[in-house]
Amino acid sequence: MKLVAGNSNRVLAEAIATYLEIPLAKCLVRRFADQEIFVEIQENVRGEDVFVIQSTSFPANDHLMELLIIIDALRRSSARRITAVLPYFGYARQDRKAGPRTPISAKLVANLITHAGADRVLTLDLHAGQIQGFFDIPTDNLFSVPVITRDIKEHYELQNVMVVSPDVGGVVRARALAKRIDAPLAIVDKRRERPGESEVMNIIGNVEGRDCILFDDIVDSGGTLCNAAEALVAKGAKSVVAYITHGVLSGGAVARIAGSMLKELVITDSIQPTEAVQSAANIRVTSISTLIGEAINRTASEKSVSSLFS
């Protein structure tokens, strides 16, 4: 087995390599003067089971091209099997036609990864589970719930906790967490007027006096979380924290969260945290390297991956 890492999240790749007790394969990824990407695999991978670790986070297009070119280089180097490990799958929010004459970019990206030469895909908390069907190759969608459950149990008393879904679409995800920690569930009913903006309309469930845990897959601008936290406090919540798998945190999101009602925002390192995120007082990062490392190990040894979550 070989591990190859692009430039999107080198720290996570090294943590996964440490867990698996194998070094990252030597791989040169550099740019020409016009920003064309050049890749050279600097060790023999013929007949190897290769895992390429690369989140397609900001800058999404650069990191996606790195992934595609690395896969192509491995295919032309006679790797036996290539698995694209995407801790964060960019373009996942474009999983349907949102209006007339608009693309389904998640399907396009799935096609690009497949045609570049990937044999399998391993990813984490897809924005919509049906995106697995966009790939014409085996796809394992991991869930961050075990990691988040452990973190909640280490940091919070569970007797007064209530899990809250920040929108109706995330109810299934939030219910899975609530079931694991044996907590009640509430839902924030919101209406999105335009992309990047949200307006909280109503809270479904009694949150008065509760320590509320908002749980979702992606935080981008932070508007939804901040509005939800404000609405929960207005309804009598004792405290509000948020657990989010993918911390995109674009634009002024970090400053927005720092000035919000959120006691704490916990994100995973599926996207490499920026300096602003690392220095924020109420943002904490927990690692999913062990989860992904174990999934890679089981894939390489042809063992069950789904049993990680049973």
Binding residues for ATP: 34-36, 93-94
**AA letter at 30:** R
Q: Which of 237, 145, 245, 231 is nearest to 188 (CA)?
A: 231
Give the chain's radius of gyration (CA, Å). 20
Output DSSP code: residue 205: S
What crossing angle do the helices spanning 10-20 and 289-300 adopt, rounded to 10°? 60
Token output for 63: 């990191």
- Using an 8 Å Cβ cutoff, are 27 and 86 in contact? no
Token output for 111: 């096609």
Q: Which of 265, 176, 276, 272 is nearest to 224 (CA)?
A: 265
Q: Give me the catalytic one of 2, 26, 97, 190.
A: 190
| Distance between CA atoms of residues 59 and 288, nearest Å | 21
Q: Which of 164, 265, 261 is nearest to 214 (CA)?
A: 164
Whether 190 is catalytic:
yes
Distances (CA, A) of 86 to 10, 145, 180, 253, 304: 13, 17, 25, 23, 19
**Which residue positions form the known binding site for Mg(2+)?**
127, 167
Q: Who contacts 218 (Cβ-Cβ below 8 Å, separation ≥6)?
A: 93, 127, 244, 245, 246, 248
**Which residue positions form the known binding site?**
34-36, 93-94, 127, 167, 192, 216, 220-224
**Could you report how far apart the first and last alpha carbons of the chain are, in Å?**
26
- Which residues participate in catalysis according to the annotation? 190
